Structure 1
Amino acid sequence: MQRRCFEEIKLLEPFVKKTEDPEILRIWKHLLTSDHYYYMCTKWLGDGDVHSYFSVHSTPFEAAVNFMAVLMDFKAQVFKKLSRMA
């Protein structure tokens, strides 16, 4: 889950930079913050316990689903901005 979400956000990099919009860049950088990916951790011993303790999500799966929902909305905003620039 972590890898899939991270790969998806990385694919947006050239499009985010092409917008030259400081707010879009700020949001994109926030989505790269490691905490989002830690909450998707499926380990339950040691390191995983720390992630589950601080997470606002009930499960790692919920964290991934919520992240992808935010990411899809963000992706739509990026491409909407690019279409207005064309």
Structure 2
Amino acid sequence: MAATNQNAPTNTPPNNAPIISPMKDAVKKIIEEHVAPLKAEVDRMHRLHRIQSIDLIRLKTEMKALMDAHREEQEKELEDAQ
């Protein structure tokens, strides 16, 4: 009777190459074709949103500075008028 290792896998590919199931291959293909482009688009939109947020903050700061300058100008005109 020959001794056999019952714990050894029966479907081991040559050279210990990984077994790729059709399901995993299909999922990988879907990710490459559909999910990866969507992720790239989301990343692009995040960058664009970040840039727009920075622009909005800059505009708010400039607007506040202009409003403060206008308020000071009005106060000065009121003082000069009195």
Provide TM-score, normalisation by structure 1: 0.32
Rg: which structure is higher? 2
Provide TM-score, normalisation by structure 2: 0.34
